[in-house]
Chains A and B, each alone.
Chain A
């Protein structure tokens, strides 16, 4: 290991550091000149938005933790104290609480982008799988965070979700007791949930780093789903996509602010304003909206173990998606049948969300079962078969020439006309 980095930076102080630890060169390479497909649409904002959302959650969470008491006797009151007595505590909590919802909105759109434009396909399978790990980590973090205010929904949500593991034969009960640290959800459970709720976001930061590292090896997918063929197909990340991401960020922050300042409890459940009572379950118990589709799958199966397996399976199936989809064409733009069926899958997921919000009786049971069936059918049957049967539209020659014989969408003038000087 020898040899200092030959820094090309001019500022003497930065150059001195960069020679010994080339972080500035790395940032310039990965976020400055990084060659990025020039045809991104606004769906490509959501990775950056998720990163911003993660930072908002961590920063507000750190300040909330300075005032939160992870003890069953004090947790609920300490949250009320944050709302009433701590300076700007209401703002910190409402940003954190609604930030969880915003995070799932952003990430679900990000995942939809991947599904629609085939971002999970070769060579981005590992990138996609790391993303599924991130989703599962996020769900665990959100679940444990929801327990902390120690309201009725916190308590009964924790009870129901931890009891999922009791469905497994033999090991189920010992696992649940181990998760609780006792024989019901109680103080030990709250303490460990707080500890893990503080830890997991930093694990997410680490896995996000891997997600981005993998992305920067394969490069980004794009709305055409075809590979970058020449420097003419790309733009440097800065300033083109830093600016495009900033536009999306402004819209995102406006929606976020509208939620925080005008309807902070819109997505919450009134039952969580009642302190946890281990002796009384609320009349209708529902999870937060972002878990509703999975909750609906759980309830659609009339068998305890079956429901739990289907629910976990609905996430785990995403891991093998790159191998279930047999079509070599990435973007749905060139897959006339997939392009319609993906919306049917979205419809099934949304329907499951609506079903999850209603009591499991009458028509909702039937809708829930049909939607569950389609959710799995799409991944396990339709995608493997469709790849063989579907006849894709002709793919464009390159990103710069999206349609043979004609100009594509709006391109920066000069970008196609002359070669760009870049790394």
Chain B
């Protein structure tokens, strides 16, 4: 290196060693650059992560719902993670219409049995957000418009869902999403 030391400042970055092979300087540049990149990443990560849900927000990520006040044909809306959750007590006629529909008629084919918990077919629990552009469909109250399939009707762009929350009329492309939930007893459900 000694014979090159005087010319080092004149060698532009990245041109390598005078002999055309990677020299000590290239190695030092790579190590320093990699060290700086790792350091900046390590500094940036706490800032980025601070924007993720905090512990108190995550602590609110489950709600319990008492089902006893919900009579057949009625639904309620509860809030889970800031989103509306529809919990609806379906009548036997509504269950039958949801189970009997041929899958070929559906926009996103899915049997009703996959959308309810076994043994609890009278309860349908859905995330109440239209899969089109995020409005909240009407239909929980018996007096609401429920569309031609007796489920939910979105007032924004006219999407319609059946009693299983499956989309039957566009523009919504998908069925209403299901939140994770479990029955703690026959009259109590835990969402989240």
- Report A's interface with B, CB cutoff 8 A: 59-60, 63, 66-67, 81, 84-89, 91-92, 236, 239, 414, 421
Contact = CB atoms under 8 A, between A and B. Distances in A.
Interface in B40-59: 45-47, 49-52, 54-57
Contacts of B54: 67, 81, 85-87, 89
B47 A92 contact: yes
Given A81-B54, A421-B10, 4 more contacts: A59-B47, A67-B54, A88-B45, A92-B46
Nearest to B10: A421
A414 B6 contact: yes
Interface residues of B, number: 14
Nearest to A240: B9
Q: Which of B10, B49, B52 is most buried by chain A, counting CB atoms within 10 A of its CB?
A: B49
Contacts of A81: 54, 56
B54 to A, nearest CB: 4
A87 B56 contact: no
Contacts of A86: 50, 54-55
Interface in B1-52: 6, 9-10, 45-47, 49-52
B142 to A, nearest CB: 41
A92 B57 CA distance: 19
23 contacts: A59-B47, A63-B47, A63-B50, A66-B51, A67-B50, A67-B54, A84-B55, A85-B56, A85-B57, A86-B54, A87-B49, A87-B50, A87-B54, A87-B55, A88-B45, A88-B46, A88-B47, A88-B49, A88-B50, A92-B46, A239-B9, A414-B6, A421-B10
Nearest to B59: A85
Q: Which 10 A-B pairs give the minimum distances between C-beta atoms?
A: A88-B46, A85-B55, A85-B56, A85-B54, A87-B49, A86-B54, A63-B47, A88-B50, A91-B46, A87-B50
Interface of B: 6, 9-10, 45-47, 49-52, 54-57
Most central of A81, A86, A89, A236 by chain B CB within 10 Å: A86
A216 B118 CA distance: 77
A208 to B, nearest CB: 21
Nearest to A420: B9
A66 B50 CA distance: 9
Contacts of B50: 63, 66-67, 86-89, 92
Nearest to A62: B47
A396 to B, nearest CB: 26
Q: From DSSP, what is the main secondary structure of chain B's interface residues?
A: helix
B183 to A, nearest CB: 31
A86 to B, nearest CB: 4
Nearest to A89: B50
A411 to B, nearest CB: 15
A226 B63 CA distance: 74
A91 B44 CA distance: 12
B51 A63 contact: yes
A421 B7 CA distance: 12
Contacts of B51: 63, 66
A66 B45 CA distance: 16
A89 to B, nearest CB: 6
Contacts of B46: 87-88, 91-92
A105 B122 CA distance: 69
Contacts of A236: 9
Nearest to A88: B46
Contacts of B57: 85
Contacts of A87: 46, 49-50, 52, 54-55
A44 to B, nearest CB: 20
Contacts of A89: 50, 54
A298 B64 CA distance: 60
A297 B92 CA distance: 85
A205 to B, nearest CB: 19
A280 B40 CA distance: 45
A391 B49 CA distance: 61
A86 B50 CA distance: 6
Contacts of A59: 47
A89 B51 CA distance: 10
Contacts of A63: 47, 50-51
B110 to A, nearest CB: 36
B125 to A, nearest CB: 28
A61 to B, nearest CB: 11
B100 to A, nearest CB: 49
Instruction: Pick the most buried of A60, A88, A236, A414: most chain B CB atoms within 10 A of its CB.
Output: A88
A236 B49 CA distance: 40
Nearest to A84: B55
Contacts of B6: 414
A85 B54 CA distance: 5
Contacts of B9: 236, 239
Contacts of A239: 9
A87 B50 CA distance: 5
Nearest to B13: A239
Nearest to B6: A414
A123 B62 CA distance: 68
A252 to B, nearest CB: 14
A59, A63, A414 pick with most chain B CB within 10 angstroms: A63
